[in-house]
Amino acid sequence: MRVKKLLHTRMRVSDMDQTIAFYKDILGLEVLERKTSPRGSHLAFLKVPNSEELIELCSFPPSGPVKVQEDLVHLAFEVDNLDDTIRALEAKGIKITDGPTRSSSGSRFIFIDAPDGYEIELIERPPGTALV
């Protein structure tokens, strides 16, 4: 058995509207669909520019607020220009929690926090660089 491709990653969130606003307004993701699952979970599927994989947000209020462990998981997104990204984030009142840092490959990156404490890594890669 071998999988064909990654379709989506699910993240549980406390406040669906707040989280959708963050991903739409701060990162520019597109909401493709919102629905309620047969089990009663509120779901939203987000499209990332230039990617086939989706992010699935899941809210199930009866289970209480989400508590994300530090350094457990993060999403990484590529940006064209890290300095421009930092200025845009600061203009929107988004705090940079780590960085900017330069990797051995020459990539530069920062971290910010999404609602519920999920870390978001924003990476500027030099042309021709495959990984951070």
* Interval 71-115: pLDDT, tens: 778 899 999 999 999 999 999 999 999 999 999 888 999 999 999
Q: What is the DSSP string of the chain?
A: -------EEEEE-S-HHHHHHIIIIIT--EEEEEEE-TTS-EEEEEEPTT-S-EEEEEE-GGG----PPTTS-EEEEE-S-HHHHHHHHHHTTPPEEEEEEE-TTS-EEEEEE-GGG-EEEEEE--TT----
Overall CATH class of domain 70-132 = alpha beta
CATH (residue range 8-60) = 3.10.180.10
| For residue 131, pLDDT beyond 80 | no
| Domain span(s) for CATH 3.10.180.10 in the chain | 8-60, 70-132
To the query of whether residue 70 is one of the catalytic residues in this protein, the response is no
Q: Which residue did the predictor score with more confidence, 92 or 130?
A: 92
Position 111 scores a pLDDT of 96
**Looking at 33, 56, 90, 121, which residue is catalytic?**
121
| For residue 130, pLDDT beyond 70 | no
53-62 mean pLDDT: 93
